[in-house]
Structure 1
Amino acid sequence: MNFLVVFLGTVSLWQIILIVAVVLLMFGGKKIPELMRGFGSGIKEFKNASKDEQNKDQSK
């Protein structure tokens, strides 16, 4: 969390609303669920890979 505050500064509600509006304009409402599904599966794969690495390190 501290990294995000340093990297982005303080993000206000209006900035978040603006970002969401721009994303909706660029991709449209029907494409957003597909993008989020892909993003979620990418995070899931990353977590599984990191767990595998931790298990591999512990077994040595």
Structure 2
Amino acid sequence: MGNLGPTELIIIAVVIILLFGAKKLPDMARSLGKSAKIFKAETKGLRDSSDDDAPAAQQPVQQPIQQLPPAQPQVQQQPQVAPPIEQTSQNKATNN
């Protein structure tokens, strides 16, 4: 199942041409080539930077311990205010 013969490859090519059109295929191939070139440059850059960092990685570096923020933010509590006292009819009569 993993082996594709020339007949299968031709059929796949024809289907791709029918789906995407002959005009778009060169543009797609060009953009694919640019992407591969950028990918290779980035991986080479990562390898070069890791080679440069290798001597520095051998010597332990003391880094200051950083204080982490609390897991839950602290909410400032507002003072509790008692509800106003309602005057009853008896209190109104004594106040008059």
Deviations 1:20-57 (A, max 9, x none): 00010011111100000111011011100100000001
TM-score, normalisation: structure 2: 0.53
Which aligned segments of 4 or more residues in structure 1 are displaced greater than 3 angstroms?
none
Counterpart of 1:14 in structure 2 is: 7
Unmatched 5+ stretches in structure 2: 54-96
Q: Of the candidates 16, 23, 29, which is equivalent to residue 23 of structure 1?
A: 16
2:22 partner SS: coil
Counterpart of 1:38 in structure 2 is: 31
TM-score, normalisation: structure 1: 0.82
Unmatched 5+ stretches in structure 1: 1-7
Residue 56 of structure 1 aligns to which amino acid in structure 2? S
Amino-acid identity (%): 30
Q: In structure 2, how many angstroms separate the alpha carbons of the residues matched to 1:9 and 1:22? A: 19
- Give the superposed CA RMSD: 1.1
Q: Which has the higher helix share?
A: 1
In the alignment of these two chains, the number of paired residues is 53
> Could you say which structure has the larger radius of gyration?
2
